[in-house]
């Protein structure tokens, strides 16, 4: 293998598994260390810069970072990255002084944003401080999009939404609520320099089976029902409720039902329990509230009497795999089951709908009737129109909407400044050695053996009485602090200098994880098998350094390195050093960046 190019910005970024996995590339270990140091406001600002909604995401994020977290490979469970974000938000001081101010001098460019969800809000936040005049249109009266209309209050209090949407709207952004855009052509005709479409995926999928029309009064489309609950238009449901579907909408529907009079609430899915779209913790939360999840049941018919729903008939299926390993659900042969109920909530998926976008304004649509969107620049085929969030590639989640928003804002900025939007700047990387003395490091390199701490919950009886009572109480300071100690500081990188190495093996001998090997060079597959501990995780890179005196190579498997720095402590010549790599993604709001990056 050739020398690893550690100067390439992605190499060490990938080692920070959580940050790499985060769509917005939040510098996770950096904010966790700040929390550990009691610097909650600083930790909040590191988050705010990257992911815009720390308080909201600290309660609701889909957390792609956690399955990626190295701690999960070293022991059982990842660091509670998401809930630590909430700790930063809960314990911060008033941070309004640290936020960018509305631009005093406008740059004369006008941007229209359709939809007031996280995608549009991110675009506006990045652009407004630079002098852009941003106008957000939403059919709903308040900003937040599905964060406000879909996510139930027992998971996310409205005060948090108000606070974090407020930080953005206070940047001098015009929010036009209660206004639906019915024609993009007309909007473009108003002479905006760019239009961002962040209208989400607002249509819930229908279930057209016999009895649907007859029993319609008691069959509700999940996302419509949730927004009605959210706006207070609906405040009760029948005693026996069936929720169809296995994604996060289904989980929010069933738990909301439990709080609105549902006593016997069931979730029923076509697939197996394991393949459900909902995250493991969402399923856990539902089951904790006495909601059983029944699987391999396909709804066949709604039964009704005198125009009133009486139940649902299901066919029992089983999974079979074809030669290509694809799963098919086939009848199991067991008799159909009739499950009686008073109400059904249909939560089997969401779709995009763009009836308000004319097809003759230069925006091409594909065969699934989705706009053609560039995955890097988020430009459509009309150079002035950009898409992001659920509107771009179908329903995802908040953090993806934020990530899209940052990229789209960068494109819009470049477009308006007459630059090439395809020329994307590299992230900014700051590299600092952590060495303070022979055995002293400016980070806490001792490894805590603690298992993952659980977030305390409100008493179930109390929680189920009030749909607005937040279930999770958040970590208190003591638990939060303990949880921070589980982070392995994966951004404190082991950096090797061949020229200094005398091949004494001290680092090899001390490394608790058998990461380091000195051996004859070879092809990657061959090397992976020959290391002190076999490097079977192909998603993790090998760090290879040539130019050793004996002609061998140093190979470090990044997979389960604890970043404990013992290699650097034991090295007699300083050939290993522990260096902090602070990777800062490029956003449109350069102003924001220079002001907030150096919290550390």
Partner 1 sequence: MTYITKPKFHHPSLPKNALGYTHRDYEGKVSTLCAGCGHDSITASIIEACFELAIEPHRVAKISGIGCSSKTTDYFLNASHGFNSVHGRMPSVLTGANLANRDLIYLGVSGDGDSASIGLGQFAHAMRRGVNMTYIVENNGVYGLTKGQFSATADRGSKSKRGLTNNDNAIDLVAMGLQLGATYVARAFSGDKTQLVPLIKAAIEHEGAALIDVISPCVAFNNHAGSTKSFDYVREHNEAVNRLDFISGRAPIHVSYDPGSTQVVEQHDGSRLVLKKVAADYDAHDRAGAMNFLAHHAAKGQIVTGLIFVDSEPEDLHRHFNTVDKPLNTLSEKELCPGSAALEKINASLR
Ligand X SMILES: Cc1cc2nc3c(=O)[nH]c(=O)nc-3n(C[C@H](O)[C@H](O)[C@H](O)COP(=O)(O)OP(=O)(O)OC[C@H]3O[C@@H](n4cnc5c(N)ncnc54)[C@H](O)[C@@H]3O)c2cc1C
Asked if 541 is part of the footprint of ligand SF4 (rule: CB under 6 A), the reply reads no
Helix, strand, coil percentages, rounded to 5, for the chain: 35, 20, 50
Quick one: which of 194, 416, 455, 562 contacts ligand SF4 (CB under 6 A)?
Answer: 562
Taking CB under 6 A as the binding criterion, the range among 16-24, 265-273, 274-282, 370-378 that sits at the site for ligand SF4 is 16-24
- E-strand ranges in 421-491 read 428-433, 435-437, 440-441
Q: Mask: binding to ligand X, 92-131, rule CB under 6 A, as x and -? A: ----------------------xxxxxxx-----------
Binding of ligand SF4 by 570 (CB under 6 A): yes
Work out whether 575 is an interface residue with ligand SF4 (CB under 6 A). yes
With 0-12 CB in 10 A as exposed, 13-18 as middle and 19+ as buried, what is 412? buried
Phi and psi torsions of 17, nearest 5°: -50, -45
The stretch among 11-19, 135-143, 168-176, 538-546 that binds ligand SF4 (CB under 6 A) is 11-19
Q: Which is nearer to ligand SF4, 176 or 502 (CB)?
A: 502
CA 599 to chain centre: 23
* Interatomic CA distance for residues 29 and 420, integer angstroms: 34
Q: Which does 563 bind (CB under 5 to 8 A by kind): partner 1, ligand X, ligand SF4, none?
A: ligand SF4
Q: Is 576 in the site for ligand X (CB under 6 A)?
A: no
147 binding partner (options partner 1, ligand SF4, ligand X, none; Cβ < 5 to 8 Å by kind):
ligand X
Residue with Cβ nearer ligand SF4 (392 or 564)? 564
Q: Which residue has the tokens 């005198």?
A: 306
**Whose Cβ is closer to ligand SF4: residue 276's or residue 564's?**
564
Structure tokens at 92: 């911060």
Q: Which is nearer to partner 1, 51 or 517 (CB)?
A: 517
Contacts to partner 1 from residues 493-522, by CB under 8 A: 502-506, 508-510, 512-515
Identify whether the C-beta of residue 419 lies closer than 8 Å to the C-beta of residue 573: no
Q: Which is nearer to ligand SF4, 243 or 455 (CB)?
A: 455
**H/E stretch holding 224:** helix 222-230
Q: Is the Cβ of residue 314 or residue 576 nearer to ligand SF4 in the bound state?
A: 576
Q: Which helix (H) or strand (E) holds 303?
A: strand 297-305
Q: Which two tokens stand for residue 234?
A: 């609906």
Q: Which residues ranging from 65 to 124 are in contact with partner 1 (CB under 8 A)?
A: 73-75
CA distance 559 to 10: 16
* Rounded Cα gap, residues 527 and 540, in angstroms: 14
Q: Is 592 in the site for ligand SF4 (CB under 6 A)?
A: no
Report d(CA 269, CA 266) in Å as an integer: 10
Cβ burial, residue 97 (10 Å; 0-12/13-18/19+): exposed
In the complex with partner 1, the residue whose CB is nearer, 292 or 572, is 572
Please, which of residues 21-60 interact with ligand X by CB under 6 A? Answer: 60
What is the number of other CB atoms lying within 10 angstroms of the CB of residue 473? 11
Partner that binds at residue 114, options ligand X, partner 1, ligand SF4, none, CB closer than 5 to 8 Å by kind: ligand X
Dist CA 350 CA 203 (whole Å): 6
Residues 47 and 402: their CA atoms lie apart, in Å, by 12
**Applying CB under 6 A, which residues contact ligand X?**
60-62, 114-120, 137-140, 145-147, 150-151, 180-181, 198-200, 202, 223, 226, 248-249, 252, 356, 389-391, 395-399, 401
**Applying CB under 6 A, which residues contact ligand SF4?**
16-18, 28-29, 69-71, 78-79, 81, 487-488, 490, 494, 501-507, 510-513, 515-516, 561-567, 570-573, 575-576
């Amino acid at each position: 293998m050739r020398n690893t190019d550690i100067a390439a910005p992605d190499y060490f970024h990938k080692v920070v598994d959580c940050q790499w996995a985060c769509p917005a590339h939040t510098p996770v270990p950096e904010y966790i260390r700040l929390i550990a140091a009691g610097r909650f406001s600083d930790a909040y600002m590191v988050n705010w810069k990257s992911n815009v909604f720390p308080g909201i995401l600290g309660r609701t994020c889909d957390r792609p970072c956690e399955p990626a977290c190295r701690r999960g490979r070293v022991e059982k469970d990842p660091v509670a990255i998401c809930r630590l974000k909430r700790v930063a938000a809960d314990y911060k001081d008033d941070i309004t002084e640290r936020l960018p101010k509305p631009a005093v001098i406008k740059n004369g460019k006008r941007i229209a944003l359709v939809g007031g969800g996280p995608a549009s809000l991110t675009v506006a936040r990045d652009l407004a401080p630079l002098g852009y005049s941003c106008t957000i249109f939403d059919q709903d009266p308040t900003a937040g999009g599905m964060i406000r209309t879909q996510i139930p209050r027992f998971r996310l209090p409205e005060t948090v939404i108000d606070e974090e949407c407020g930080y953005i709207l206070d940047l001098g952004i015009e929010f036009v609520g209660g206004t639906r855009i019915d024609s993009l052509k007309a909007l473009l005709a108003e002479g905006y320099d760019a239009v961002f479409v962040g209208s989400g995926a607002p249509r819930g999928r229908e279930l057209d089976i016999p009895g649907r029309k007859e029993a319609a009064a008691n069959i509700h489309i999940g996302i419509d029902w949730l927004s009605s609950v959210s706006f207070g238009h609906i405040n009760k449901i029948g005693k026996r409720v069936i929720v169809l579907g296995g994604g996060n909408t289904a989980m929010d529907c069933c738990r909301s039902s439990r709080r609105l009079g549902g006593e016997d609430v069931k979730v029923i899915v076509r697939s197996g329990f394991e393949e459900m779209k909902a995250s493991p913790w969402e399923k856990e939360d539902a089951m904790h509230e006495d909601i059983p999840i029944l699987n391999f049941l396909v709804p066949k018919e709604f039964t009704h009497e005198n125009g009133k729903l009486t139940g649902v008939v299901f066919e029992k299926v089983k999974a079979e795999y074809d030669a290509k390993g694809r799963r098919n659900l086939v009848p199991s042969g067991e008799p159909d089951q009739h499950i009686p109920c008073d109400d059904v909530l249909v939560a089997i998926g969401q779709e995009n709908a763009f009836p308000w976008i004319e097809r003759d304004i230069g925006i091409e649509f594909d065969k699934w009737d989705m706009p053609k969107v560039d995955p890097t620049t988020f430009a459509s085929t009309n150079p002035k129109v950009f898409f992001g969030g659920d509107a771009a590639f179908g329903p995802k989640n908040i953090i993806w909407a934020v990530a899209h928003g940052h990229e789209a804002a960068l494109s819009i900025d470049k477009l308006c400044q007459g630059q090439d939007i395809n020329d994307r700047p590299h992230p900014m990387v700051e590299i600092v050695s952590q060495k303070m003395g022979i055995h002293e490091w400016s980070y806490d390199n001792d490894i805590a053996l603690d298992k993952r701490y659980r977030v305390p919950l409100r008493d179930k009886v109390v929680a189920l009485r009030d749909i607005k009572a937040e279930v999770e109480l958040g970590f208190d300071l003591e638990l939060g602090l303990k949880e921070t100690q589980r982070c392995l500081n994966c951004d404190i990188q082991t950096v090797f200098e061949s020229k200094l190495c005398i091949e004494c093996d001290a680092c090899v001998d001390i490394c608790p994880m058998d990461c380091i090997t000195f051996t004859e060079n070879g092809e990657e597959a061959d090397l992976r098998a020959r290391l002190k501990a076999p490097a079977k995780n192909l998603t993790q890179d090998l760090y290879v350094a040539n130019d050793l005196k004996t002609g061998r190579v140093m190979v470090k498997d990044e997979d389960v390195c604890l970043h404990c720095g013992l290699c650097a402590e034991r090295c007699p010549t300083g050939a290993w050093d522990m260096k902090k790599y602070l990777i800062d993604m490029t956003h449109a709001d350069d102003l924001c960046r220079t002001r907030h990056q150096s919290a550390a």
